[in-house]
């Protein structure tokens, strides 16, 4: 079942360079043009979904490996049966079941990000840019700031977990 147990390294990303290029692209968009802001927003929305899913997937995998090893593969948790591509709200609820460094702050950021994201993405066609332009601009600026904060927290959390993992594996 777990052929890769000894070689498993948490938080490795497929197409890491492409993901980094997208983040750089989001950061360098012309924030004075609607199309630049919207392109950055779409990237940030996808980034935060990816980060939350990646954190959850890796926590599940590490717990499964530890259980597998500790119980001699007699019984263990199999994360391959878990659903993928779930909503950010559901990811947040799932992450609540785990304990990890800076969890409360990370989850609070996800909740705040999700509120702004939903307001932007679900009400985009209802925005009156003439009368609500400042609110729209504030929300778009907030989404990039929250996404960057979540990315920073994710990097700190995963670096710490990876350091501990290397000591116990």
Q: Is the separation of the CB atoms in 52 and 95 below 8 Å?
A: yes
Q: 67 falls in which pLDDT band (50, 70, 90)? A: confident
Q: Tokens 């990876």 belong to which residue? A: 162
> What number is the average pLDDT over the span 57-74?
86
Q: 91 falls in which pLDDT band (50, 70, 90)? A: very high
Q: Is the separation of the CB atoms in 44 and 1 below 8 Å?
A: no
Sequence-distant (≥ 6) Cβ neighbours of residue 52 within 8 angstroms: 88, 91, 92, 95, 110
Is 36 or 80 the better-scoring residue by pLDDT? 36
- State how far the Cα of 151 lies from the Cα of 112, in Å rounded to an integer: 14
Q: Tokens 């409360």 belong to which residue? A: 104
- State how far the Cα of 9 lies from the Cα of 50, in Å rounded to an integer: 18
> Is 83 in a helix, a strand, or coil?
coil
Sequence-distant (≥ 6) Cβ neighbours of residue 127 within 8 angstroms: 136
Q: Is the separation of the CB atoms in 79 and 64 below 8 Å?
A: yes
Structure confidence by residue, pLDDT tens digits, 121-150: 777 777 666 666 666 777 788 999 999 999
Neighbours of 19 (CB within 10 A): 15
Neighbours of 139 (CB within 10 A): 18
Mean pLDDT of the chain: 87
First to last CA, the chain: 17
What are the C-alpha distances in Å from 134 to residues 36, 47, 50, 128?
A: 17, 25, 29, 10
What pLDDT was estimated at residue 158? 97
């Amino acid at each position: 079942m777990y052929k890769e147990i000894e070689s498993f390294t948490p938080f490795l990303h497929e197409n890491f360079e492409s993901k980094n290029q997208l983040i750089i692209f989001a950061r360098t968009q012309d924030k004075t043009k609607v199309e630049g802001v919207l392109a950055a927003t779409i990237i940030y929305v996808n980034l935060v979904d990816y980060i939350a899913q990646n954190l959850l997937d890796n926590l599940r995998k590490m717990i499964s490996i530890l259980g597998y090893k500790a119980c001699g593969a007699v019984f263990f948790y199999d994360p391959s049966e878990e659903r993928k591509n779930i909503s950010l709200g559901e990811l947040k609820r799932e992450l609540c079941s785990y304990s990890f460094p800076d969890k409360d702050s990370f989850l609070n950021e996800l909740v705040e990000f999700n509120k702004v994201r939903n307001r932007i993405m679900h009400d985009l066609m209802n925005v009156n840019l003439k009368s609500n332009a400042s609110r729209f601009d504030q929300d778009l600026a907030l989404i990039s700031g929250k996404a960057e904060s979540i990315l920073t927290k994710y990097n700190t959390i995963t670096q710490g977990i990876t350091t501990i993992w290397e000591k116990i594996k």
